[in-house]
Amino acid sequence: MNLDKLQESALIRIVDDDDAMRKSWRFLIEGEGWHTVCYSSALRFLEEDNREEPGCVVLDVRMPDMSGIELQRVMMLQKNGLPIIFVSAHGDIDMAVQALKDGASDFLPKPVSADRLLEAIEKAVKKDLERRKEKKLAEETRQAFNTLTAREKMVARKVARGLLNKQIADELNISEKTVQVHRGVVCRKLGVKSAVGVANILSIIHEEDSSSETFR
């Protein structure tokens, strides 16, 4: 996706309690063609922002009421995957390392050059669009898998393990012909043509489940 299309599809959130800094960043970012919205505090961001809009968050660290680091933790608990770009004069190496471990897209020290900030924004937006694409695929895959009956799911899992029809029939105590029928239905419902395709579907579902567990 080229830069123009990225900018059309994304919203850059600027969260900073410093009015002059918000205006400066907004002027810079909008001047490069991005759409922006500004929040004077982390709490206002949580109350007002529409997380369904793709983009990223340009976030200060030190703010009253709730810091940028605390906001990141709240977003993790809320399963809000918007990429965060921390920009702060008050961060240290340990803080930056932990923020990045917790999923921040970048941690930039103030003063930050315009080119470096814009580069970080473009990277973060691409990351968010890819995340949303993968999430949509996982949801569609889950919906397709849930159309299978309990027996079809059992067959699908064994097909994904690479078992032959005879092996599946023996494990489930059913005829090989019945396995063939179930296998055909599984492939049709999941929109795949082979055992590899079934395995890929189950892998996507497993990754989605594992991702959900990390937020619990």
Domain count, the chain: 2
Going by C-beta distance under 8 Å and a sequence separation of 6 or more, which residues neighbour residue 7? 33, 34, 35
Write out the two tokens for 40. 């004077």
Look at residue 139 and tell me if it is in a domain: no
The closest of 33, 27, 25, 15 to 112, measured between CA atoms, is: 25
The closest of 42, 191, 205, 49 to 139, measured between CA atoms, is: 205
Q: What are phi and psi of 12, to 5 degrees?
A: -100, 115
Share of the chain above pLDDT 90, in %: 85
Look at residue 19 and tell me if it is in a domain: yes
Q: How far is CA 95 from the centre of its chain?
A: 23
Write out the two tokens for 171. 């494990």
Do residues 58 and 118 touch, judged by C-beta distance below 8 A? no
Same domain, 87 and 152: no
What is the tens place of the pLDDT at every residue in 56-103?
999 999 999 999 999 999 999 999 999 999 998 877 889 999 999 999
Residue 125: Cβ within 10 Å count: 24
Query: What pLDDT shows up at residue 212?
Result: 53
Query: What pLDDT shows up at residue 208?
Result: 64
Query: What pLDDT shows up at residue 216?
Result: 43
Structural domain boundaries enclosing 200? 147-213
Query: What pLDDT shows up at residue 161?
Result: 94
What CATH number did the domain enclosing 189 receive? Answer: 1.10.10.10
